[in-house]
Amino acid sequence: MAARVVPTLRLAVLCEDIEFDGSGRPALLAFPVHTLRFPPGVGTHYQPPAPKLYLQLQGGVGTFYVWAALREEGEVIELYRSPRPFELVFTTDAHRFLPREVVLDLDGVRFPRPGVYEVIVRANHVNLHEPNNQTPLAFPPIRVVALSADGSEGGAL
């Protein structure tokens, strides 16, 4: 049996919703999310309606549990982890060369305060945003800017 090879993250899009076609494949990425605003009267611990994370992974060998985490930009402490990892099995040569589509529900994600956050994708605890032997230029973390209700703070560019 071939040695396990961590898949490469080819695409990651955070969305408000994802619609599926008749065969169960993601067909429409609805309203990509890059900025959100805390509602009036909410200054901390904002929980938006559960966003979805669309991923394309390629080149893996073996079984991986894929999940997402939220952290403040530049920090290592994870503030959130997706509740149900997605089991992804790469068993054939076609799986190595064709991207596999994965959708993660980020149920219960909370933004502690206005600021800039990163969504990180992991496969068996390997950060898919860090360069490695097979991917010298890794896909960057997904950035989300969380603005206060009045827009006066939050690290907006």
Kindly state the tokens that stand for 100.
């596999």
* 63-113 confidence digits (pLDDT tens): 899 999 999 998 999 999 998 889 888 886 665 678 889 999 999 999 999
Strands 126-127 and 100-105: unpaired
Q: Indicate whether 134 pLDDT > 80.
A: no
Phi (first) and psi of residue 42, to 5 degrees:
-110, 115
pLDDT at 38: 93
Tell me the whole-structure pTM to 2 decimals: 0.88
Q: Indicate whether 43 pLDDT > 60.
A: yes
Domain boundaries, the chain: 8-147
Burial grade of 114 (CB within 10 A; 0-12, 13-18, 19 or more) = buried
Architecture of the domain defined by 8-147: Sandwich (2.60)
